[in-house]
């Protein structure tokens, strides 16, 4: 699911006229912090090493039990 969410973020950033190198802040919600290492492996491969945003990751019960990750991004435009 992380790969799918990050691909969606790429598309949304493109539609907004920006990209992941312009991310300022990211919040990640995981229903099980035991999945953090797996999430972080995918995240580290996706985010540019020279453009890592401020990031918070918290454990939370998500609206649908089938959802394993939720990500909110704030990015600069222009």
Summarize pLDDT for 16-72 with one digit per residue, the tens.
Answer: 999 999 999 999 999 999 999 999 999 999 999 999 999 999 999 999 999 999 999
Name the H helices within the chain.
2-15, 36-46
Please report which confidence band the pLDDT of residue 78 belongs to, taking 50, 70 and 90 as the band edges. confident
* CA of residue 34 relative to chain centroid, distance: 17
DSSP letter at 19? -
How high is the pLDDT of residue 51? Answer: 95
With beta carbons less than 8 A apart as the criterion, state whether 13 and 74 touch: no
**CATH code where residue 45 lies:** 3.30.1330.40
Write out the residue range of the structural domain in which residue 43 sits: 2-75
With beta carbons less than 8 A apart as the criterion, state whether 23 and 53 touch: yes
How many structural domains is the chain composed of? Answer: 1
pTM of the complete model: 0.93
């Amino acid at each position: 699911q992380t790969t799918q969410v990050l691909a969606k973020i790429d598309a949304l950033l493109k539609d907004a006229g920006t990209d992941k190198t312009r991310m300022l802040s990211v919040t990640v919600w995981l229903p099980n912090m035991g999945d953090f290492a797996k999430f972080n492996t995918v995240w580290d491969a996706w985010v540019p090493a020279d453009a890592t945003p401020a990031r918070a990751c918290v454990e939370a019960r998500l609206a649908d039990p089938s959802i394993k990750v939720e990500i909110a991004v704030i990015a600069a435009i222009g």
